[in-house]
């Protein structure tokens, strides 16, 4: 009797797996042709529910991939849900790649947690900085964490925060370029810049800060503009929040610097009453601000070199014309603001101008000095989508790029000119860059990953 029960059970079990295997394959077409679509649906749903669920999830994902709007919402919600969980997050085990200069790039992927990007819809974007020797990371949607140790993996402890009180799902869902823009840790305070919606569809770049706490950070507003740029109703009938600037760096104990882009309202860069297209200094004691330089399009990198008494600034040009600019600190005391020419002078060209009307208003002359502006140290034609800049030695620097996925090493000579560049490809978009303890740290946003390159010989 037991033998018969065993044989019957075995037959039923084999039959179960044979039918299961045949549901979505052509191997058993003779059997499947006798089943109606309705019957096959019922078999999958009730006899093989896990297969039905798997197929349903695939259909949802395929639909999302065909629908950019839904894909944005899905990735944003997924990231914000993880943030609310306050769970720690761990990178994948590091992978290594030998670069063309012989250095080794170690990559630690965050792909399971940073889902929503700034340029790409997915995967996520982020920013990095250090407090003492602790590595901090901020996602473009507000996940904030730190790690005290880097081994084969990096374990980040998530820090509870109120960043999404300032920009949240409603704003992120409108377009992926609405996001957090940078992270700075300075004198035991933490600063975060972001695109702020002041009123419906009207935006500018703002800065919040809070006392650094490893458990919970309550951010409050430090700087916000008096004006905003409407995304649908503006002077030039163009709007682009990728051109928002947002880089923030420390200046001294009482001040930080913030870059602001023009949001493609180009005329604002030459308007001294506007903060757009400017580098500003913000006082931490009274929240006041002062414009330091003007004529910028979309400043993406800032470096204060106190040893050499200047600022280095990088900015995105139009079609071509990315720039590295030197801002002499002595010039900041002059009544006349240092002016870098945008949108009157640029090595680049307008993206779309079929009738040539833009050139009547914004001529993009190829000389800066001829029209009273400061010439860039370097113009990149074609553009490299320049990003952050760091100092690694005496008048030695590295600039990163998004588009070319490359690091550009250079030195300034005695006349503060750039004789040449050494280029090292890292094969991913570089959103952020930090130099710490003789290591170069990168936020790579195609993975996304934390990248580390030892600069020791």
pLDDT at 215 over 60: yes
Residue 132 pLDDT: 94
> Is 409 among the domain residues?
yes
**Domain count within the chain:** 2
E-state strands within 72-172? 89-90, 95-98, 104-109, 126-131, 134-139, 144-147, 155-158, 160-161
**199 shares its domain with 288:** yes
Same domain, 176 and 283: yes
361 shares its domain with 419:
yes
Mean local confidence (pLDDT), 292-317: 98
Locate the DSSP E strands across 394-437.
Answer: 396-401, 406-411, 421-425, 430-436
Interatomic CA distance for residues 207 and 236, integer angstroms: 26
Contacts of 178 (CB under 8 A, 6+ apart): 167, 171, 172, 195, 197, 203, 241
Better pLDDT: 423 or 4? 423
Is residue 254 domain-shared with residue 183, that is, in the same domain?
yes
Q: pTM for the complete prediction?
A: 0.85
d(CA 213, CA 229): 34
Q: What is the pLDDT of residue 315?
A: 98
Residue where a domain terminates, one of 30, 49, 64: 64
At 82-99, the pLDDT tens digits run 999 999 999 999 999 999
Q: In the predicted model, is pLDDT for residue 9 greater than 60? A: no
* Residue 444: inside a domain: yes
Which residue blocks in 301-448 are alpha helix, DSSP H? 357-361
Residues 48 and 180 in one domain: no
Query: Which residue, among 291, 185, 197, has the nearest Cα to 239 in the 3D structure?
Result: 197
pLDDT at 353: 84
218 or 35: which carries more pLDDT confidence? 218
75: in domain? no
For residues 34 and 101, state if they share a domain.
no
Q: How far apart are CA 120 and CA 176, in angstroms?
A: 8
Residue 388 confidence (pLDDT) above 70:
yes
| SS3 assignment, position 344 | coil
Paired with 423 in beta bridges are 408
In this structure, is residue 77 part of a structural domain? Answer: no
> Which of 249, 269, 268, 267 minimizes the C-alpha distance to 258?
249
Contact between 344 and 364 (Cβ < 8 Å)? yes
Last residue of a domain, one of 64, 80, 99: 64
pLDDT of 19 > 60? The answer is: no
Identify whether residues 42 and 177 lie together within a single domain: no
**Mean pLDDT of the residues in the chain:** 89
pLDDT for res 200? 96
Read off the pLDDT of each residue in 202-216 and give the average, rounded to a whole number: 98
52, 118: one domain? no
41 and 188 together in one domain: no
Tell me which of 143-152, 176-185, 208-217, 355-364 is least confident: 355-364
126, β-bridge pairs? 139
| pLDDT band at 352; cut points 50, 70, 90 | confident
- pLDDT tens digits for 401-444? 999 999 999 999 999 999 999 999 999 999 999 999 999 999 99
Are 285 and 222 in the same domain? yes
Q: How far apart are the first and last CA of the chain?
A: 77
Instruction: Inform me whether the pLDDT recorded for 39 exceeds 70.
Output: no
29 pLDDT tier (thresholds 50, 70, 90): very low
Q: Does 301 score more than 60 pLDDT?
A: yes
Q: What percentage of the chain reaches a pLDDT higher than 90?
A: 81
Q: Is 103 buried (19+), middle (13-18) or exposed (0-12) by CB count in 10 A? A: middle
Confidence at 333, pLDDT banded by 50, 70, 90: confident
- pLDDT by residue (tens digit) across 53-85? 545 444 444 444 445 567 889 999 999 999 999
Q: Where are the beta strands (DSSP E) in 212-315?
A: 216-217, 220-223, 229-230, 245-252, 255-260, 278-283, 289-294, 299-305, 310-315
- The size of the chain, in residues, is 457
Does the pLDDT value for residue 212 go beyond 60?
A: yes
Domain containing 244: what range? 88-454
Least Cα distance to 259 among 310, 205, 209 occurs for 205
Query: What's the confidence (pLDDT) of residue 31?
Result: 46
Q: List phi, psi (to 5°) of 270.
A: -105, 5
Express each pLDDT in 99-156 by its tens digit.
999 999 999 999 999 999 999 889 999 999 999 999 999 999 999 999 999 999 999 9
Contact of 206 with 223, CB cutoff 8 Å: yes
Residue 50: per-residue pLDDT: 46
Range in 41-55, 152-166, 365-379, 390-404 the model is least confident about: 41-55
């Amino acid at each position: 009797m037991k033998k018969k029960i065993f044989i019957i059970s075995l037959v039923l079990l084999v039959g179960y797996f044979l039918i299961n295997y045949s549901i979505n394959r052509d191997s058993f077409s003779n059997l499947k042709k006798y089943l109606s679509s309705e019957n096959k649906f019922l078999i999958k749903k009730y006899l093989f529910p896990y297969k039905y669920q798997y197929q349903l999830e695939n259909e949802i994902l395929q639909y999302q991939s065909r629908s950019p709007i839904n894909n944005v919402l899905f990735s944003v919600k997924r990231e914000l849900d993880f943030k609310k969980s306050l769970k720690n997050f761990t990178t994948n085990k590091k992978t290594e790649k030998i670069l063309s200069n012989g250095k080794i790039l170690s990559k630690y992927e965050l792909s399971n947690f940073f889902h929503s990007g700034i340029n790409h819809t997915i995967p996520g974007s982020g920013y990095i900085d250090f407090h003492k020797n602790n590595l901090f990371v901020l996602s473009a949607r507000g996940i904030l964490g730190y790690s005290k140790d880097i081994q084969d993996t990096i374990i980040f402890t998530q820090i509870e925060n109120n960043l999404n009180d300032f920009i949240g799902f409603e704003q992120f869902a409108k377009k992926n370029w609405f996001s957090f823009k940078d992270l700075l840790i300075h004198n035991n305070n933490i600063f975060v810049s972001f695109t702020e919606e002041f009123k419906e569809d009207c935006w500018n770049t703002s800065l919040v800060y809070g006392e650094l706490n490893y458990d919970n950070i309550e951010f409050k507003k430090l700087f916000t503009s008096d004006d905003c740029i409407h995304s649908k109703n503006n002077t030039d009938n163009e709007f682009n929040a990728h051109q928002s600037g947002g880089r923030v760096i420390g200046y001294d104990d009482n001040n930080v610097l913030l870059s602001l882009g023009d949001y493609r309202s180009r005329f604002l860069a030459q308007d001294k009453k506007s903060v757009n297209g400017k580098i500003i200094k913000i006082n931490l004691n009274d929240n006041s601000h002062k414009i330091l330089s003007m004529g910028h399009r979309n400043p993406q990198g800032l470096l204060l070199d106190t040893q050499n008494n200047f600022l280095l600034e990088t900015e995105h040009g139009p079609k071509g014309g990315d720039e590295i600019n030197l801002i002499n600190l002595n010039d900041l005391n002059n009544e006349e603001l240092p002016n870098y020419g945008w949108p009157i002078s640029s090595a680049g060209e307008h993206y779309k101008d079929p009738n040539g009307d833009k050139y009547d208003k914004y001529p993009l002359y190829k000389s800066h000095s001829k029209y009273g502006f400061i010439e860039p140290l370097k113009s990149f034609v074609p553009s490299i989508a320049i990003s952050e800049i760091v100092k690694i030695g005496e008048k030695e620097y590295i600039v990163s790029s998004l588009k070319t996925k490359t690091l550009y090493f250079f030195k300034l000579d005695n006349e503060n000119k750039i004789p040449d560049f050494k280029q090292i490809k890292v094969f991913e978009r570089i959103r952020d860059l930090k130099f710490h303890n003789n290591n170069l740290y990168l936020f790579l946003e195609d993975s996304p990953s934390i990248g580390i390159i030892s600069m020791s010989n």
